[in-house]
Structure 1
Amino acid sequence: MTVTQDFHLKAGSTADGPYALHIDPERAGWGYSSLRILELPPGGSHALATGDSEWIVLPLSGGCTVLVDDRTFDLHGRESVFDGVTDFAYVPRDAHAQIASGAGGRFALTGARCERRLTARYGPASGVPVELRGTGNCSRQVNNFGAAGVFEADRLIAVEVLTPGGNWSSYPPHKHDECRPGAESELEEIYYFEIAPAPAPASDPGGRGAQGLGYQRVTPSGPGKDTDVLAEVRSGDAVVIPDGWHGPSIAAPGHDMYYLNVMAGPGAEREWLICDHPDHTWIRGTWPGRPVDPRLPLYQAPEATR
């Protein structure tokens, strides 16, 4: 079997100015989905021209202010993706936004080409549904901040997934690479990864533990849909998935895994409909009655302030 790494973008391989990662439709070879990881130093700012795409500004570490359409959104953010749910801002197409951070940080700009220009708005952390999927060593946590049916957008779908060390997620393998009304939606997808480091060694309690890793698999789903990836992923890596059965996403023991999913496609309806791989869907039948991994949730969304 030949396994290609063409769809695995290692950290830094697509760096472009202030962007540690820059994936647009042209670079990915598809029509809709984009992802940029913006790094701002203390006191830094960045101008974003949205063009023909809608965007969500999502803090990965640190907070920022987003100015767009004469409105200002203060995003409190978080220390890291492993520390809490974050607030975010929606920025419409055909707009100019300014993103500024007093303390600096890293911010995901998740984007999708779209037709409608919606209203710029703020998404509070308290409004993000936190979902637990699977049981046992298939348990994972999903932060549905930009999920279809949760947050309004024209085409963009985006969620965060947290997988405790040693667990498998995006499992059973599934696909969404063809339009079958009511059964499957056609969506391009980007996975962006961060991996929690090991605990600091006892000899250096203030230091940083060893870098973690995980694995991502994508297999062909049929004629003309031949994406084939087996990637060892580390913090800052991304995998682009134009088609194919994707999963599992495997977190190495001792290292929790985070990934950000960005999806968009040509369907008339904004929906996430998937088809399980027929060889592996039976695993869902083993979940009822088994406990969810007791390490989950890693955190909950904060309660809304009154």
Structure 2
Amino acid sequence: MAELLKKPIHQPLNDGVKIIQDFKPSDVDLEYTGIKVIDIKAKQVYGEETNDFEACVVALTGQIDVSDGDDKYEGIGTRDSVFEKIPTDSVYISKSHMIEITAQRDARVVICYSPCDKERETQLIPADENSVEDRGKYSNKRHVHNILPDSHTASEKLLVVEVYTDQGNWSSYPPHKHDVNNLPNESFLEEIYYHEMNPPQGFVFQRVYTDDKSLDETMAVEDSDVVIVPKGYHPVAVPDGYNSYYLNVMAGPQKVWKFHNQKEHEWIIDRK
């Protein structure tokens, strides 16, 4: 198994809560980004402390209530499958808070993490505030829901985005990177990909590599897998017959998304 590819663990916490993926930054040799994916049965509760991390709680599927210990947001979540291709609700919760999630109906929840310096106000990020856009052309098309873009003021470091790529298309392409702190030309952002497939027995290919090839891993990625991107380029290829969804978690020393395309392949952007 590739070092950057993390398979789901399906670890039961109790009869109603199951951990699918669970990584804080230090668990995967990162500094800024972490992720947890959990399944919660209806009426069951999951809780944790944020400690020194800020968190974005994404109601991936199903419907949940979310509390930070003081405020409560009820009926969070808009869809039963990510492949409905509609935005969903999220809640931003800062460091030194509780997170309590209660499932109104069966739910899959993603919690995105980054260490932060200061406490900030808890904030609902409703589905209708996600900016939605289509990128690319030809076989390089994808559909994007921006949950926490770099322009969003809720978080200190976290960026969160959902990306849909239809069969036969490429995504995160042409190959681009954001691993050098060289603003305004490029920002340093670590990244984590959480993947789902439709139908779920499908797979995609993802390559993570640097210019000098000191890092160069190509992975067959399946449903509920996570791919860690500490640095380098990270394109995704989607085979015929299957559609791809992934949720990106990004964070770095500054909340700025400024990427650098690999020059050898940048020409495809302007082709006619």
Matching residue within 99, 108, 111 for 1:109: 111
Matches of 1:119 and 1:278, distance apart in 2: 41
Q: Which residue in 2 is equivalent to 1:239?
A: 227
SS in structure 2 opposite 1:266?
coil
Note the C-alpha offset of 1:26. 1.3
Matches of 1:77 and 1:23, distance apart in 2: 26
Contact 2:123/2:154, CA 8 A, preserved across alignment: no
Matching residue within 239, 244, 262 for 1:257: 244
Contact 2:60/2:77, CA 8 A, preserved across alignment: no
Contact 1:48/1:99, CA 8 A, preserved across alignment: no
Q: Which residue in 2 is equivalent to 1:201?
A: none
Q: Which residue in 1 is equivalent to 2:19?
A: 19
Q: Which residue in 2 is equivalent to 1:80?
A: 81
Contact 2:9/2:19, CA 8 A, preserved across alignment: no
Higher-Rg structure is 1
Residue 276 in structure 1 maps to residue 261 in structure 2: yes
Contact 2:121/2:154, CA 8 A, preserved across alignment: no
After superposition, the Cα gap between the structure-2 partners of 1:101 and 1:124, relative to the gap in structure 1 and judged at 3 Å, is same
Matching residue within 197, 207, 211 for 1:217: 207
SS in structure 1 opposite 2:83?
coil
Under a length normalisation based on structure 2, what TM-score does the superposition of the two structures give?
0.93
Matches of 1:27 and 1:226, distance apart in 2: 21
What root-mean-square deviation, in Å, do the aligned CA atoms of Structure 1 and Structure 2 show?
Answer: 1.6
Under a length normalisation based on structure 1, what TM-score does the superposition of the two structures give?
0.83
Runs of 4+ in 1 over 2 A off after TM superposition: 15-18
Matches of 1:150 and 1:264, distance apart in 2: 13
Q: Which residue in 2 is equivalent to 1:206?
A: none
Return the structure number with greater strand share: 2
Contact 2:41/2:106, CA 8 A, preserved across alignment: yes
Contact 1:88/1:125, CA 8 A, preserved across alignment: yes
Segments of structure 2 that go 5 or more residues without pairing to the other structure are: none
Segments of structure 1 that go 5 or more residues without pairing to the other structure are: 198-209, 288-306
1:223-262 CA-partner distances (Å, limit 9, x unpaired)? xx83322111111101101011111x11111211001110
